[in-house]
């Protein structure tokens, strides 16, 4: 099985599950499709030989984020298909926006193709966990630390926001 | 010693006044303003001795902005005017009881700080900051401590604020463009620019909007009368005595030398507008029922003449403009102070409710009279010197400018005498009128002394400003 | 030395003014009067010093240069004084008559609570008048010019509780200011052409043919503008209407300011600038015509006035017209001659009328007078002498000066001579009408007044006597054929004006003038003595008399043509223009508001809509950045 | 397996990413359910991440992957806060229909 075949299969899975995520009526189904979508994207990462990212991706997205979303859905008891019928206009708007965006972005990238193809590869090791670790903790030391602060702040924020508010007298 | 000392005195003085508390505020404010005046005199001495008081200090490296000030005779004259008038104005308000006096006097000093800064800045960015900074204190002074109906006041003051602010934005645009051309905003480097006529036209126009609103030149004057009427007298004096001089000064310092080609090409338009202001202000003043409004329109007329003189681009015109700026500063403060004295006693600004004051207080009537005849430019008073030079410079452009601008002599007498007659003369007013206090008369005495002394011997001021103005005329004529 | 005396001359009245302002209330009325009079007397004595010095050395006028005053690009204006024949002559009668009138005022104003202020203003006036006369350039003259205007304003409105008086004062000041603008513009033109405002430099420039021929148009314009200034101050057509109203002031003021001194400032200025006017013959013609017209117009109004001071006021305007007639004919020294004689007899007349008014406790209407000859003999005789003088009866001063003017007019322009003569006849008539109504017949006032009738005290009669003597013998200074005055003034004028020879024409004209005066007196005699007529009440006046009584409705015409439109315009500007401009500014705010109101529809709260806008916006940015 | 892009070609990844991104965008526009909109946003983020990795591979440069790493961290934070907001909205309004949240309407 050539790589191309693998790619096509993965891409098809990605797009299909992504699409299903969007259109599923039941939020639980959406979430499940999204997990699948993330896994397929993880597959893409593996194809690139970016093991570290693939791992992190699965852990963060498919693990942490999706679990969080599922929990929320459960918490709100949303596993019902109670979304109101949408007006033609909004559907139309969504479709038009989708088509427009798709068209424009594709056009942009196609126009940019000549520049993209010019790049030469150097053959160095650039994406093993070892190298990435070095890059992250040398060149990107400060942003890295900031990310940790960001996550901390987000955590505190989330706790604060979701806390039940005491009634003010 | 350089000129920053005055700015420091005034800025920290404003803070000190605020922290001194309500009771001590006015005393501290007086001391600070007096100190700033003394420091200005020291700067003047230094200038006369030939020592430079300039300073330049790198502030922001990108864009290229300096904390720079350059004090020539013109700037010193304006600085002296500002600090002297601030002192007089603070002193004149001693009898008033303001709520939250510490805030009030701190704002007055802060405004003085900003105005001095405007006069001495040699970097357009710094200048612009000071220019706008001066607007903020007067906004609060007028809004919080003003008189009249609150809603009406809010409407008038907000209009004034937005109007002047909007005008200044055009000036900012011009400065940004100049910066893109020169790579610096130092005034000396801007002077070196060689701009095409097209560019100069736009820059001149942008400056004109800012200054015409501030000065104000007809037809950009609509904020003036209401703002003067509704501000507390201290605010009115600050506005009319000093702040509008900022506009005139800027015309001389920034607008004309930066865009001389445009100034020459379109001179007649601006002369005509200014002179329309003279006649129009005088005519509208004829039928005003409110004393402060009447004085506001008279101010419009006088300032129109000053602006016209400046736009003649001649040494006579510029010199007359500067002399008249100083003279008008003192006179208008005196007139508004007289209005304030009447308001303190009769609690009204309506001319119809006054009258017969001369019987009750001759001393006040005499002093009011002297200030009034000075304002109509009677020879022997300071205003005559300025008016004479201004009208002569207008004559040198075209005789009709002098004749029509000169109608201010007649119309000024008409509305001023009419006002004087209705306010001061006639049978005694039914309301009691307490005699003018020593403290109040001292303000008048100082103002009258200045007006008469320089009216007979204007040479000191003349010698101070002439070299600076010659330089500016040379810059205007460089093209 | 000379400088110091000159300073004393100028500053003495000013110190009098300061004293009376600051210490007047405490010093008491006697001291106030004394200081006020003494300060003017000091000036008079100083003037005498310069007069004698000038007589000893006629070709060297004294120049006192004090300091640089106004600096302009092309020239500087110095604060300096010039004491030549003309200014000394003027100073002599300004300070001389000034002293007498001050003396008179001590008694006249004694009962006024603000006497110190009166003397202060009077002193200030003298100070400014001296300034006007003594200045060595036109700007110093202008200080005095405006300064006397201010004092005139203050003194006309001296009784400031009465708003009618205040209106009169205001009118005087504003009318004067109209003229002042003309003068100022004239000044500018002169400065532009000659590069200086100094009399000496201008006169030198005026004899520079090159300069003059290049600027002949401007010089004529300058002369015209200066003349407009003179019409304001010297009450000529069209700016004369303020002078009769100015009689609202106390009578000494009318005598000093509105008869003897201030109103002659215009003649002084024209004489001062004669070299300029000589270059503009067309303007001189205009001056002559305006002068003659004013003379006859004012005299005709004076025929029917009933207020004793109004009659004198119109007489003053008329006489000033005659002086301008002389100026217009280029006979400056004759104008000056008439100024001097007029100062004598008119001051005397005004003071005399003041004496009458004083005796009648403020009554000014001649219909309520009469028969005062017996009670007030000194007043009567002094006034009689002056009346004869003003009517031009031989050999009193008025005869000589008026005759010179008419003679000159006859030589250059017969119609002007006719107009001038008519004015003279009218003068004789209304002056004797005044005398007859006031002093002859029966007293027509109230019993109360009759009871209090008395001759005025010595302080009032003494100046009257001195002035009457001067009015009688003043003509001696310029007798035809052997004129001391012409000789004295000769250094001023480059082309000497030869005195008229006493030929047959001259005698004939004298006879004609005398006969004319006698005719006028005769008519008055027949009307008011023979027929014992008393002028009718205001309402009963009919026809042309009514028109005359209402001064040809000139005030009303000015009201309709100038004042009302100005008021309307002011109203219009205030109610419409101001509102329109104001609303225009607010309109910008309203536009912003309207945009906001419309724009807020976009903020409809629908996230979908926002997102759509977002997507479209992003797409357009992409298109713009990469695809275009 | 020297370089995967030689076998597959960058353009395929570009197409894939664009499609995925647009699906995400479509989802945000199409749905009213806040949670699903959230998921759609995650899809869009992943589309971008995927493209970043693809270009990182093309350039043989680790920085692209570092960026993805950061963007994941941001996404995690965003989800945490976002969901917390949703929870509190749900508590207040009893629904998470986005159309009900119109308090900012002008």
| ω into B12 cis (within 30 of 0) | no
Q: Which residue carries 């270059």 as its tokens? A: C279
Q: Which residues of A touch D23 (CB under 8 A)?
A: 15, 18-19, 22, 98
Q: For chain C, which chains pass the contact test of at least 3 CB pairs under 8 Å?
A: A, B, D
Residue C611 near chain A (CB below 8 Å): yes
B380, C70: Cβ pair inside 8 Å?
Answer: no
For residue A3, give its domain range: 1-83
- Give the mean model confidence (pLDDT) for residues D27-50: 88
Contact predicate B126/B96, CB 8 Å: no
Distance from CA of A142 to the nearest CA of D (A): 12
Structural domain includes residue C33: no
For residue C599, give its domain range: 558-627
Give yes or no for residue C588 having a pLDDT over 90. Answer: no
For residue D18, give its domain range: 4-97
Q: What are residue C323's DSSP bridge partners?
A: none
Question: Within this chain, do residues C447 and C493 fall inside the same structural domain, yes or no?
Answer: yes
- Give the mean model confidence (pLDDT) for residues A141-161: 90
A107, C627: Cβ pair inside 8 Å?
Answer: yes
Contact predicate C239/C231, CB 8 Å: yes
Residue C628 near chain A (CB below 8 Å): no
Are there at least 3 beta-carbon pairs closer than 8 Å between A and B?
Answer: no
Residue B382 near chain C (CB below 8 Å): no
Are there at least 3 beta-carbon pairs closer than 8 Å between D and B?
Answer: no
Are there at least 3 beta-carbon pairs closer than 8 Å between B and C?
Answer: yes
Distance from CA of A101 to the nearest CA of C (A): 6
pLDDT bracket for residue C290 (50, 70, 90): very high
Give yes or no for residue C81 having a pLDDT over 50. Answer: yes
- Between chain A and chain D, the number of residue pairs with CB atoms below 8 A apart is 227
3-state secondary structure of C531: coil
Structural domain includes residue A133: yes
- C549, C578, C601 — which closes off a domain? C549
Q: Which residues of C touch D101 (CB under 8 A)?
A: 605, 607
Interface of C with D (CB under 8 A): 599-608, 611-612, 615
Residue B426 near chain C (CB below 8 Å): yes
Distance from CA of C619 to the nearest CA of A (A): 6
Residue B121 backbone phi and psi in degrees, to 5: -65, 140
| Nearest neighbour of A97 by CB, restricted to C615, C622, C627 | C615
Nearest residue to B307 (alpha-carbon basis) of B343, B365, B255: B255
The number of distinct structural domains making up chain C is 2
Distance from CA of A25 to the nearest CA of C (A): 18
Structural domain includes residue A95: yes
Distance from CA of B164 to the nearest CA of C (A): 11
The confidence score (pLDDT) of residue C555 equals 84
3-state secondary structure of C454: coil
A111, C623: Cβ pair inside 8 Å?
Answer: no
Residue A97 near chain C (CB below 8 Å): yes
Computed from CA positions of residues A85, A87, A90, A93, in that sequence, does the dihedral angle turn out positive or negative?
positive
Provide the whole-model pTM: 0.85
Q: Which residues of A touch D29 (CB under 8 A)?
A: 90, 93-94, 97-98
The confidence score (pLDDT) of residue D1 equals 42
- C532, C549, C566 — which closes off a domain? C549
**What's the start-to-end Cα distance of chain C, in Å?**
93
Q: Which residues of A touch C622 (CB under 8 A)?
A: 104-105, 108
Query: How does pLDDT run across B434-451, given as a tens digit for each residue?
Result: 888 888 899 999 999 999
The confidence score (pLDDT) of residue A105 equals 85
Query: How does pLDDT run across B40-66, given as a tens digit for each residue?
Result: 999 999 999 888 888 888 888 877 888
Structural domain includes residue D37: yes
B410, C189: Cβ pair inside 8 Å?
Answer: no
Structural domain includes residue D106: no
Q: Which residue of C has its CA nearest to D34?
A: C607
Low-confidence winner among A39-48, C12-21, C56-65, C463-472 (lowest mean pLDDT): C56-65
C174, B413: Cβ pair inside 8 Å?
Answer: yes
pLDDT bracket for residue B304 (50, 70, 90): very high
Computed from CA positions of residues C225, C227, C232, C233, in that sequence, does the dihedral angle turn out positive or negative?
positive
Selected for mutation to probe chain B from C573, C577, C579, C593 (highest B CB count within 10 Å) is C573
Q: Which residues of C touch B284 (CB under 8 A)?
A: 570, 573-574, 577-578
- C549, C566, C601 — which closes off a domain? C549
B280, C577: Cβ pair inside 8 Å?
Answer: yes
Question: Within this chain, do residues C469 and C575 fall inside the same structural domain, yes or no?
Answer: no
B407, C181: Cβ pair inside 8 Å?
Answer: yes
The confidence score (pLDDT) of residue A169 equals 47
The DSSP annotation for B398-442 comes to: -HHHHHHHHHHHHHHHHHHHHHHHHHHSSSPPSS--PPPPHHHHH
Q: What are residue C24's DSSP bridge partners?
A: none
Structural domain includes residue D104: no
The confidence score (pLDDT) of residue A168 equals 53
- Give the mean model confidence (pLDDT) for residues C416-433: 90
Query: How does pLDDT run across C164-192, given as a tens digit for each residue?
Result: 888 999 999 999 999 999 999 999 999 99
Selected for mutation to probe chain C from A87, A88, A93, A116 (highest C CB count within 10 Å) is A93
Q: Which residue of C has its CA nearest to B222?
A: C582
D97, A84: Cβ pair inside 8 Å?
Answer: yes
**CB atoms near residue C78 (< 10 Å):** 19
Give yes or no for residue C616 having a pLDDT over 50. Answer: yes
| Nearest neighbour of B406 by CB, restricted to C185, C573, C589 | C185
Question: Within this chain, do residues A46 and A57 fall inside the same structural domain, yes or no?
Answer: yes
Burial of C174 (0-12, 13-18, 19+ CB in 10 A): buried
D61, A126: Cβ pair inside 8 Å?
Answer: yes
Structural domain includes residue A11: yes
Selected for mutation to probe chain B from C68, C71, C114, C575 (highest B CB count within 10 Å) is C71
A93, C622: Cβ pair inside 8 Å?
Answer: no
C-alpha of B413 from chain center: 22
Nearest residue to C242 (alpha-carbon basis) of C339, C146, C173: C173
Nearest residue to A54 (alpha-carbon basis) of A44, A63, A64: A44
The confidence score (pLDDT) of residue B333 equals 94
Q: Which residues of C touch D102 (CB under 8 A)?
A: 604-606
- Give the mean model confidence (pLDDT) for residues C581-610: 84
Q: Which residue of D has its CA nearest to C609?
A: D29
- Between chain A and chain C, the number of residue pairs with CB atoms below 8 A apart is 27
Question: Within this chain, do residues A72 and A1 fall inside the same structural domain, yes or no?
Answer: yes
Question: Within this chain, do residues C339 and C374 fall inside the same structural domain, yes or no?
Answer: yes
Distance, CA of D43 to CA of D39 (rounded, Å): 6
Query: How does pLDDT run across C250-280, given as a tens digit for each residue?
Result: 888 888 888 888 889 999 999 999 988 988 8
Q: For chain A, which chains pass the contact test of at least 3 CB pairs under 8 Å?
A: C, D
Is the ipTM higher than 0.90? The answer is no
pLDDT bracket for residue B461 (50, 70, 90): very high
| Nearest neighbour of C177 by CB, restricted to B166, B399, B409 | B409
Contact predicate B146/B235, CB 8 Å: yes
Question: Within this chain, do residues A105 and A95 fall inside the same structural domain, yes or no?
Answer: yes
pLDDT bracket for residue D104 (50, 70, 90): low
Share of chain B above pLDDT 90, in %: 61
Give yes or no for residue A80 having a pLDDT over 70. Answer: no
pLDDT bracket for residue B172 (50, 70, 90): very high
Distance from CA of B84 to the nearest CA of C (A): 23
The confidence score (pLDDT) of residue C395 equals 81
**B187-197 per-residue burial string, b: 16 or more CB within 10 A, e: under 16:** bebbbeeebee
How is residue A2 written in tokens? 């050539």
- Give the mean model confidence (pLDDT) for residues C492-508: 71
Q: Which residue of D has its CA nearest to A162?
A: D84
Nearest residue to A31 (alpha-carbon basis) of A88, A82, A72: A72
Low-confidence winner among B77-91, B306-320, B456-470, C500-514 (lowest mean pLDDT): C500-514
**CB atoms near residue C30 (< 10 Å):** 11
C608, D29: Cβ pair inside 8 Å?
Answer: yes
C612, A101: Cβ pair inside 8 Å?
Answer: no
Average pLDDT, chain C: 87
Question: Within this chain, do residues C480 and C600 fall inside the same structural domain, yes or no?
Answer: no
Query: How does pLDDT run across C534-563, given as a tens digit for each residue?
Result: 777 777 777 777 777 778 888 888 888 888
Question: Within this chain, do residues C601 and C471 fall inside the same structural domain, yes or no?
Answer: no
The number of distinct structural domains making up chain A is 3
Structural domain includes residue A123: no
- Give the mean model confidence (pLDDT) for residues B387-399: 92
The number of distinct structural domains making up chain D is 1
- The DSSP symbol for A48 reads T
Give yes or no for residue C496 having a pLDDT over 60. Answer: no
Give yes or no for residue B226 having a pLDDT over 80. Answer: yes
**CB atoms near residue B369 (< 10 Å):** 18
The confidence score (pLDDT) of residue A119 equals 67
The confidence score (pLDDT) of residue C359 equals 85
Q: Which residue of D has its CA nearest to A160?
A: D84
CATH for D27: 1.10.287.3510
Question: Within this chain, do residues A79 and A95 fall inside the same structural domain, yes or no?
Answer: no
Q: Which residues of B touch C177 (CB under 8 A)?
A: 409-410, 413
Angle at B153 between CA B151 and CA B156, to 5 degrees: 115
Nearest residue to C578 (alpha-carbon basis) of A168, A144, B287: B287
Contact predicate C473/C397, CB 8 Å: yes
Query: How does pLDDT run across B230-259, given as a tens digit for each residue?
Result: 999 999 999 999 998 999 999 999 999 988
Structural domain includes residue A122: no
The confidence score (pLDDT) of residue A159 equals 87
Query: How does pLDDT run across B340-390, given as a tens digit for each residue?
Result: 999 888 888 888 888 888 888 888 989 999 999 999 988 889 999 999 999
Q: Which residues of A touch C610 (CB under 8 A)?
A: none
Question: Within this chain, do residues C418 and C437 fall inside the same structural domain, yes or no?
Answer: yes
Distance from CA of C581 to the nearest CA of A (A): 47
């Amino acid at each position: 099985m050539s790589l191309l075949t693998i790619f096509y299969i993965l891409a098809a899975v990605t797009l299909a599950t992504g699409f299903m995520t969007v259109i599923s009526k039941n939020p639980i189904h959406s979430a499940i499709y999204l997990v699948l979508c993330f896994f397929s994207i993880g597959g893409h990462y593996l194809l690139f030989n970016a093991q570290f990212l693939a791992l992190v991706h699965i852990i963060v997205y498919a693990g942490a984020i999706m679990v969080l979303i599922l929990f929320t859905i459960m918490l709100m008891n949303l596993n019902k298909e109670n979304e109101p019928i949408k007006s033609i206009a909004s559907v139309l708007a969504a479709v038009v926006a989708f088509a427009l965006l798709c068209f424009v972005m594709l056009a942009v990238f196609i126009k940019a193709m000549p520049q993209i193809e010019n790049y030469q590869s150097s053959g160095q090791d650039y994406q093993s966990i070892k190298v990435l670790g070095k890059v992250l903790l040398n060149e990107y030391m400060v942003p890295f630390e900031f990310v940790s602060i960001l996550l901390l702040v987000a955590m505190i924020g989330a706790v604060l926001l979701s806390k039940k508010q005491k009634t003010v007298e | 010693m350089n000129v920053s000392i005055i700015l420091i005195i005034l800025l920290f003085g404003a803070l000190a006044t605020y922290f001194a508390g309500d009771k001590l505020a006015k005393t501290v404010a007086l001391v600070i303003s007096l100190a700033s005046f003394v420091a200005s005199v020291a700067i003047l001495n230094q200038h006369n001795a030939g020592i430079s008081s300039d300073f330049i200090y790198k502030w922001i490296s990108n864009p290229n902005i300096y904390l720079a000030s350059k004090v020539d005779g013109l700037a010193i004259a304006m600085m002296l005017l500002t600090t002297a008038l601030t002192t007089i104005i603070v002193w004149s308000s001693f009898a008033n009881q303001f709520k939250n006096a510490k805030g009030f006097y701190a704002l007055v000093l802060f405004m003085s700080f900003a105005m001095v800064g405007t006069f001495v800045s040699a970097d357009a960015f710094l200048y612009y900051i000071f220019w706008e900074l001066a607007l903020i204190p007067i906004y609060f002074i007028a809004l919080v401590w003003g008189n009249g109906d609150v809603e009406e006041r809010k409407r008038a003051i907000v209009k004034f604020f937005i109007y002047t602010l909007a005008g200044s934005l055009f000036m900012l645009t011009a400065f940004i463009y100049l910066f893109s051309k020169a790579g610096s905003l130092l005034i000396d480097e801007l002077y070196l620019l060689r701009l095409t006529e097209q560019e100069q036209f736009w820059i001149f126009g942008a400056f004109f909007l800012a200054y015409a609103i501030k000065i104000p030149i007809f037809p950009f004057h609509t904020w003036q009368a209401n703002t003067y009427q509704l501000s507390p007298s201290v605010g009115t004096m600050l506005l009319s005595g000093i702040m509008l001089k900022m506009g005139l000064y800027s015309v001389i310092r920034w607008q004309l030398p930066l865009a001389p080609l445009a100034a020459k090409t379109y001179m007649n338009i601006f002369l005509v507008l200014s002179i329309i202001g003279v006649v129009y202000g005088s005519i509208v003043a004829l039928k005003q029922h409110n004393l402060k409004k009447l004085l506001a329109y008279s101010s419009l007329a006088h300032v129109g003449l000053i602006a016209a003189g400046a736009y003649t681009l001649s040494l006579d015109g510029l010199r007359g403009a500067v002399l008249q700026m100083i003279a008008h500063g003192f006179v208008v403060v005196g007139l508004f102070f007289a209005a304030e004295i009447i308001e303190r006693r009769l609690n009204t600004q309506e001319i119809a409710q006054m009258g017969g004051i001369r019987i009750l207080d001759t001393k006040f009537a005499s002093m009011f009279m002297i200030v009034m005849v000075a304002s109509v430019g009677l020879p022997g008073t300071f205003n005559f010197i300025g008016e004479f030079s201004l009208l002569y410079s207008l004559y040198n452009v075209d005789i009709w400018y002098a004749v029509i601008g000169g109608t201010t002599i007649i119309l000024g007498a008409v509305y001023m005498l009419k006002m004087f007659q209705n306010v001061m003369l006639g049978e005694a007013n039914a309301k009691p009128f307490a005699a003018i206090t020593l403290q109040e008369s001292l303000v008048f005495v100082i103002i009258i002394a200045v007006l008469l002394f320089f009216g007979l011997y204007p040479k000191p001021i003349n010698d101070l400003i002439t070299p600076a103005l010659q330089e500016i005329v040379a810059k205007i004529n460089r093209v | 030395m000379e400088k110091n005396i000159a300073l004393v001359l100028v500053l003495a009245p000013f110190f009098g003014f300061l004293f009376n302002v600051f210490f007047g209330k405490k010093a008491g009325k006697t001291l106030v009067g004394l200081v006020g009079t003494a300060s003017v007397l000091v000036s008079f004595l100083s003037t005498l010093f310069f007069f004698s010095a000038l007589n000893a050395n006629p070709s060297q006028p004294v120049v006192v240069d004090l300091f640089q005053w106004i600096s302009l690009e092309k020239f500087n204006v110095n604060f300096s004084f010039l004491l030549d024949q003309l200014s000394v002559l003027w100073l002599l009668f300004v300070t001389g008559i000034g002293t007498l009138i001050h003396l008179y005022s001590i008694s006249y104003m004694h009962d006024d609570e603000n006497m110190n202020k009166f003397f202060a203003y009077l002193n200030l006036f003298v100070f400014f008048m001296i300034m006007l006369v003594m200045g060595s350039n036109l700007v110093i003259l202008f200080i005095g010019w405006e300064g006397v205007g201010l004092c005139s304003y203050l003194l006309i409105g001296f009784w400031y509780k009465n708003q009618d008086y205040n209106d009169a004062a205001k009118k005087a000041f504003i009318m004067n200011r109209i003229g002042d603008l003309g003068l100022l513009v004239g000044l500018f033109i002169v400065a532009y052409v000659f590069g200086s405002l100094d009399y000496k430099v201008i006169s030198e420039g005026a004899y520079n043919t090159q300069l003059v021929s290049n600027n002949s148009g401007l010089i004529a314009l300058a002369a015209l503008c200066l003349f407009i200034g003179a019409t304001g101050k010297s009450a000529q057509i069209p700016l004369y209407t303020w002078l009769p109203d100015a009689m609202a002031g106390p009578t000494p003021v009318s005598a000093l300011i509105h008869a003897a001194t201030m109103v002659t400032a215009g003649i002084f200025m024209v004489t001062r600038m004669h070299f300029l006017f000589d270059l503009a013959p067309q303007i001189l013609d205009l001056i002559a015509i305006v002068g003659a017209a004013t003379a006859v117009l004012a005299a005709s109004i004076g025929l029917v006035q009933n207020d004793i001071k109004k009659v004198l006021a119109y007489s003053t305007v008329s006489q000033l017209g005659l002086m301008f007639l002389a100026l217009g004919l280029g006979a400056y020294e004759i104008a000056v001659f008439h100024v001097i004689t007029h100062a004598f007899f008119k001051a005397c007349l005004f003071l005399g009328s003041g004496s009458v008014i004083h005796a009648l406790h403020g009554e000014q209407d001649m219909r309520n007078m009469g028969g005062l000859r017996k009670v007030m003999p000194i007043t009567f005789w002094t006034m009689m002498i002056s009346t004869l003088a003003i009517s031009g009866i031989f050999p009193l001063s008025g005869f000589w000066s008026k005759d010179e003017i008419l003679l000159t007019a006859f030589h250059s322009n017969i119609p002007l001579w006719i107009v001038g003569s008519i004015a003279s006849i009218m003068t004789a008539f209304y002056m004797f009408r005044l005398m007859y109504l006031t002093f002859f017949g029966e007293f027509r006032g109230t019993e109360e007044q009759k009871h209090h009738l008395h001759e005025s005290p010595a302080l009032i009669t003494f100046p009257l006597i001195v002035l009457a003597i001067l009015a009688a013998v003043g003509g001696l200074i310029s007798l035809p054929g052997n004129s001391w005055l012409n000789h004295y003034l000769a250094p001023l004028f480059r082309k000497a004006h030869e005195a008229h020879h006493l030929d047959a024409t001259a005698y004939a004209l004298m006879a004609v003038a005398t006969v004319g005066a006698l005719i006028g007196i005769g008519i008055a005699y027949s009307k008011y003595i023979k027929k014992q007529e008393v002028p009718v009440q205001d309402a009963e006046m009919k026809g042309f008399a009514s028109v005359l009584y209402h001064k040809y409705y000139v005030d009303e015409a000015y009201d309709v043509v100038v004042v009302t439109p100005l008021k309307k315009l002011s109203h219009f500007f205030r109610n419409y223009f101001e509102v329109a401009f104001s609303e225009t500014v607010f309109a910008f705010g309203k536009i912003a508001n309207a945009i906001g109101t419309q724009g807020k529809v976009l903020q409809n709260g629908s996230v979908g809509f926002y997102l759509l806008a977002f997507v479209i916006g992003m797409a357009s940015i992409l298109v713009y950045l990469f695809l275009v | 397996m020297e370089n995967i892009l030689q076998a597959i070609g960058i353009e395929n990844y570009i197409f894939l990413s664009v499609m995925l991104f647009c699906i995400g965008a479509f989802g945000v526009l199409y749905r009213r359910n806040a949670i699903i909109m959230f998921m759609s946003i995650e899809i869009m983020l992943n589309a971008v991440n995927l493209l970043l990795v693809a270009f990182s591979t093309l350039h043989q440069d680790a920085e692209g992957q570092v960026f993805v790493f950061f963007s994941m961290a941001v996404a995690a934070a965003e989800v945490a806060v976002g969901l917390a907001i949703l929870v509190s909205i749900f508590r207040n309004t009893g629904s998470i229909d986005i159309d009900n949240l119109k308090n900012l309407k002008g």
